[in-house]
Amino acid sequence: MVSFVPSEDQKMIQDMAKDFALNELRPKARDCDEKDTIPNEVVQAGWELGMVNAVIPEKYGGTGMERSAVSGALMCEELAWGDLSMALALLSPSLFAYPVLEFGTEEQKQKYLPRFCQPKFYPATSALVEPYFDFDLSNLRTKAEKKGKGYVLNGEKCLVPLGLSSELYLVWASLDAKPGYENVAGFIVEKGAGGLKVIEREKNMGIKALETAEIKLENLELPLESRLGGDGGCDFGRVASLSRVALTAMATGVARASYEYAKEYAKERVAFGEP
């Protein structure tokens, strides 16, 4: 019989995330939302808990814990229960680090993973969403054309978390006009690369404390080794599926928080002189 009771390790991770959300995120959430910013000390405190580097193997500088979808979902839910903007900021580096961990070449792992194991928060992100009403994960308008000894990328991305401050971007693009996850590839782009233009911080209706940005790729030239996984590429369908699990867990955390806030308000509300 399947048990849905968290294991001892999973419960430890869940409790750690909930304590951090309760004591660090919730007390600051409203102020952060009103000021459109997240204090550096909050991000650094979350980083020091090892939320990203815990699953990175020891040979790259991480803790080497076993990666678990259940543990990750429990952590995402609790952080989002605290505040979604800050949860997304804390976990944004994983959008780069985890695909490299799972699909990167050995050279890519050695070059990039140690950066996520240093004491100071390391900003990195993924550029996937595009500013079109018919945005389709399996048929991205951002294109990567193979030319000579490299690739040339052209396209637009939006809602890139930590888009202005990130040192590394994992940019997703279609390799040809045929739709399908098998034709989507990830490309590692470093801050300041020629052809990478970070336009401006976006003004969002929600998650206002989170820095998101629009970026443009204009004839961005990259070497062959910048492709995630090398010539073999990566399983973008798996990347998308894992992202959906994390987003669903966060949505559950937000729903829990909304219910709890509404329940407490209902107990205190007075209408027409009656509670």
DSSP assignment of 132-152, as one string? Answer: STT--TTS-S-EEEEETTEEE
For residue 5, the model assigns a pLDDT of: 86
The CATH number corresponding to 8-267 among 2.40.110.10, 3.30.565.60, 2.60.40.10, 1.10.10.10 equals 2.40.110.10
Q: Pick from 116, 130, 131, 207: which is nearest to 167 by CA?
A: 116
Query: Percentage of the chain surpassing pLDDT 70?
Result: 100
Work out whether the CA dihedral 14, 114, 59, 99 comes out positive or negative. Answer: positive
Query: Percentage of the chain surpassing pLDDT 90?
Result: 88
pLDDT of 242 higher than 80: yes
For residue 228, the model assigns a pLDDT of: 98
Dihedrals φ, ψ of 201, to 5°? -70, 135
Tokens describing residue 58: 């020891």
DSSP assignment of 146-213, as one string? Answer: EETTEEEEEEEEEEEETTTT-SEEEEEEESSSS-SGGGEEEEEEETT-TTEEEEEE---SS-TTS-EE
Tell me the CA distances in angstroms from 41 to 8, 13, 33, 53, 77, one per residue in order: 29, 21, 16, 18, 22
Tokens describing residue 120: 């100071």
For residue 159, the model assigns a pLDDT of: 97
Instruction: State the Cα–Cα distance between residues 253 and 21, nearest whole angstrom.
Output: 11
For residue 53, the model assigns a pLDDT of: 94
pLDDT of 66 higher than 90: no
Alpha-carbon Rg for the chain in angstroms: 20
For residue 178, the model assigns a pLDDT of: 85
> Which letter, b or e, does each residue of 161-178 get, where b requires 16 or more Cβ atoms within 10 Å of its Cβ?
bbbbbbebbbbbbbbeee
79-123: pLDDT as tens digits: 999 999 999 999 999 999 999 999 999 999 999 999 999 999 999
Q: Confidence band (pLDDT; 50, 70, 90) for 77?
A: very high
Tokens describing residue 16: 């750690």
